[in-house]
Amino acid sequence: MTIEAQIQQLRDELNDYNYKYYILDESDISDFEFDMKLKSLQDLESKHPEFNDINSPTNRVGGTITKNFNTVVHDYRMYSLSNSYSKDDLMAWEERVKKLVDGDVSYTCELKYDGASISLTYEHGKLTRAVTRGDGVQGDEVTANIKTIKTVPLTLKGDYPDKFDIRGEIVLPFEGFNKMNEDRIEIGEEPYRNPRNTASGSLKLQDSSEVAKRPLECLLYTIIGRNLNIQSQIEGLQKARDWGFKVPNAAKLVHSIDEVFEFIEYWDVHRRNLPYETDGVVIKVNSFQHQEELGFTSKSPRWAIAYKFKAERVSTRLNEITYQVGRTGAITPVANLEPVELAGTTVKRASLHNADQIAKLDIREGDEVFVEKGGEIIPKIIAVDLTQRPADSKPTEYITHCPECNTELVRQEGEAQHYCPNYNGCKPQIIGRIQHFISRKAMDIDGLGGETVALLVHAGLIHNYSDLFELTKENVLPLERMAEKSADNLIKGVENAKQVPFERVLYALGIRYVGETVAKKLVKHFKFIDAIAEATEETLVDVDEIGVKIAKSVVEFFQSEQNKIIINRLKGFGVSLEISEDALANQSDSLAGKIFVVSGVFTTVSRDELKKMIEDNGGKVGSSISSKTSFVVAGDKMGPSKRTKAEQLGIEILSESDFLSLLNV
């Protein structure tokens, strides 16, 4: 299998797992396997930047936002954590930390509770807003529901800052969860699956009085804001306790990696006595100054890592193998299992990945299989109990035709995945492309969600994303669960999408390998959709960071007659297919070819704003100083080792005001 194919296969699998877990609340694979796949993808992308895509699951933090509540942009992004499963992983992380910061490093160790992430905003000592994680950039505002949770203070006490955010987990204690299920069983209703999913679902209930009936708790762990007058994580935890927040007492300040291991070993045993679900330990660099120096990758903080506890395993019967079609046409076999309890969850299904995996394990319908869950979340079939195999068992014959449209499947040489080639006629593929088109980072159409897209396609009202702009209120009102107000919101959302800027429209088109960053590069270079459509592979490769694979994909997309028709229809509907004058005014090439490293604390603009200014003006932001670095932008408290390295390499060091003067700001 080619490197490109391996990367795409991993992205397709991880995107599918993310969607099922975060959107459908379904579990297919273990945490461990998911993280190993993610790590494999990260390694491949790092070694082969020509295949980079900003929409890769490695950048992805988290999943798609529901439409039930107002969507709010986080003042400070909610990153996810890198995961580890061994002492070697933690030691390697510590080595990286010590290379990037000066002086002795201490750590805080905290238990990783398994609940629903939340960000609370306080102004002048009062709760003003509560927002779910969402996709990390923006989430759902659930303030009314959060106010019903007794462990969330509505008014603070003590010396709190004027404004700050505090992050934590909404959890459902085992005792309360079990009582809720006893009550449901008594009245003949299905019990809830597990505390984590129930806590997450509680935040999305429309009636806050129903939320108030649930024994939810909020455990806080991170304070974020400006001018906090807090120097470390452990100090911040104590401040939060002083202000009235419920902060777990298990958190501990340690001064070596050996003490980190002692903390992990203790809680790997004693976690079973806790009143909440927990799946690991979070280790953070304690000093905020060190955290500032270490910064973030596109997905995770470099100054924190999660250690996940070992998996649990059970056996159950595989009743049937079915097949699902992804939006790229990829076929995923699914094991439908005899329901079995595993780590507090009822497991019914697990992914079998592809034909090779089925053949490797010789998995058959009727087999007794071993199922494992890493991190107490997602299940995986790891082996077959051959001693229990029925005498009349027959090997699994992989399907030859698409289960949705009956088109004969194809499998390219060297690839593990089978694909349905019916690009324009297979409904799951059509639905998937339209769902991508309306997604938050693309057209962001309010009032229109994934389920509604499926209803529209199955009703024959739309066949591609350009059809959305012909919908009328009368068209959509007959749809299931479509009230008059919902119909009005949908039509209004589609109309508002015509104002979405060109770079997001280009990303929304779903051209293979064209993620958010590539779309911005193409828009900045070509300015108009027609110029991109007419570009040759040679012309496209001349654009910064556009490789041969991306160029071929762009050319193939615009050579399609159906795609040409769709683009022309979008033009007719008034969708933005050229760069706006305002966007042009905010962009320049004044920093083209320059690489900047940003270090220290800034006062006039934030670190993120400064990085955006570099990129908007054609420059690149580096993570560490090297001979290729053009400038270092130094704020207050820049690490002395970085300054020394810059001076040794003869790299010019700019102050914050020097940099702003460079841009004539």
Most confident of 108-122, 183-197, 263-277: 108-122
pLDDT for res 27: 60
Which pair of tokens denotes residue 609? 């704003």
Give the residue-averaged pLDDT of 329-353.
84
Are 69 and 204 a contacting pair, CB within 8 Å?
Answer: yes
Q: Domain span at residue 51?
A: 3-60+311-388
**32: pLDDT strictly greater than 90:** no
Would you say residue 393 lies in a domain?
A: no
Higher pLDDT: 506 or 637? It is 506
Weakest mean pLDDT among 66-80, 443-457, 592-606? 66-80
CATH number reported for the structural domain that contains residue 527 in this entry = 1.10.150.20
Task: Determine the number of helices (DSSP H) and then strands (DSSP E) in the chain.
Answer: 25, 20
Q: 375 pLDDT band (50/70/90 cuts)?
A: very low
CA 563, CA 423: separation in Å to the nearest integer?
Answer: 12
**612: pLDDT strictly greater than 60:** yes
What's the per-residue H, E or C state across 152-176? CCCECCCCCCCEEEEEEEEECCHHH
Helix, strand or coil, per DSSP, at residue 484: helix
CA 524, CA 587: separation in Å to the nearest integer?
Answer: 8
Most confident of 32-41, 463-472, 516-525, 615-624: 463-472
Would you say residue 505 lies in a domain?
A: yes
Closest CA to 498 of 567, 562, 436, 571: 571
Same domain assignment for residues 37 and 78: no
Same domain assignment for residues 79 and 51: no
Weakest mean pLDDT among 62-76, 426-440, 567-581? 62-76
Backbone angles phi, psi at 159, to 5 degrees: -100, 55
**266: pLDDT strictly greater than 50:** yes
CATH number reported for the structural domain that contains residue 644 in this entry = 3.40.50.10190
Same domain assignment for residues 293 and 145: yes
Which pair of tokens denotes residue 554? 């762009």
pLDDT for res 441: 83
Are 262 and 252 a contacting pair, CB within 8 Å?
Answer: no
pLDDT > 70: percent of the chain: 91
Give the residue-averaged pLDDT of 117-141.
91
Higher pLDDT: 234 or 195? It is 234
**66: pLDDT strictly greater than 60:** no
Would you say residue 408 lies in a domain?
A: no
Would you say residue 424 lies in a domain?
A: no
Same domain assignment for residues 51 and 129: no
**378: pLDDT strictly greater than 60:** no
Q: Which of 112, 299, 520, 642 is catalytic?
A: 112
Give the residue-averaged pLDDT of 341-349.
76
Report in angstroms the alpha-carbon separations of 224 from 3, 36, 120, 515, 559. 40, 30, 10, 30, 49
pLDDT for res 23: 33
Average pLDDT score, the chain: 85
For 480-515, write each residue's pLDDT tens digit. 878 888 888 899 999 999 999 999 999 999 898 888
pLDDT for res 22: 38
For 549-562, write each residue's pLDDT tens digit. 899 989 999 999 99
Give the residue-averaged pLDDT of 62-79.
69
Same domain assignment for residues 195 and 318: no
Weakest mean pLDDT among 218-222, 225-229, 572-576, 635-639? 635-639
Going 122 to 123 to 124 to 127, the CA torsion angle's sign is negative
Same domain assignment for residues 77 and 55: no
Which pair of tokens denotes residue 47? 């070694």
CA 189, CA 183: separation in Å to the nearest integer?
Answer: 9
pLDDT for res 67: 43
DSSP codes, 347-378: EEEEE--SHHHHHHHT--TT-EEEEEEETTTE
CA 520, CA 536: separation in Å to the nearest integer?
Answer: 18
Would you say residue 423 lies in a domain?
A: no
CATH number reported for the structural domain that contains residue 343 in this entry = 2.40.50.140
Would you say residue 411 lies in a domain?
A: no
pLDDT > 90: percent of the chain: 40
**116: pLDDT strictly greater than 80:** yes
**54: pLDDT strictly greater than 70:** no
**Contacts for 396-402 with beta carbons within 8 Å, 24 or more apart?**
396/321, 396/358, 396/363, 396/364, 396/365, 398/333, 398/355, 398/358, 399/323, 399/331, 402/325, 402/331, 402/426
pLDDT for res 186: 64
Same domain assignment for residues 559 and 599: no
pTM comes to 0.53
Higher pLDDT: 255 or 39? It is 255
Domain end among 308, 329, 349: 308
pLDDT for res 509: 94
Going 22 to 24 to 30 to 36, the CA torsion angle's sign is negative
What's the per-residue H, E or C state across 268-319? HHHHHHCCCCEEEEEEEECEHHHHHHHCECCCCECCEEEEECCCEEEEEEEE
Q: 575 pLDDT band (50/70/90 cuts)?
A: very high
Which pair of tokens denotes residue 606? 């934030």
**59: pLDDT strictly greater than 80:** no
**19: pLDDT strictly greater than 50:** no
Q: 64 pLDDT band (50/70/90 cuts)?
A: very low
Same domain assignment for residues 371 and 500: no
Same domain assignment for residues 302 and 316: no
Which pair of tokens denotes residue 8? 């795409």
Give the residue-averaged pLDDT of 127-137.
90
Would you say residue 500 lies in a domain?
A: yes
Are 30 and 72 a contacting pair, CB within 8 Å?
Answer: no
Would you say residue 100 lies in a domain?
A: yes
Report in angstroms the alpha-carbon separations of 35 from 38, 81, 378, 510, 583. 5, 11, 11, 26, 38
Total domains, the chain: 4
Same domain assignment for residues 303 and 249: yes
pLDDT for res 7: 84
Same domain assignment for residues 564 and 603: no
Residues near 644 by beta carbon (within 8 Å), at least 6 away in sequence: none
Higher pLDDT: 176 or 59? It is 176
Q: Is-catalytic flag, 112? A: yes
Domain end among 538, 560, 582: 582
CA 364, CA 396: separation in Å to the nearest integer?
Answer: 5
Domain end among 356, 388, 420: 388
Residue 627 CA to its chain's centroid (Å): 33
For 515-570, write each residue's pLDDT tens digit. 887 898 899 889 999 999 999 999 999 887 788 889 998 999 999 999 999 999 99
Same domain assignment for residues 75 and 214: yes
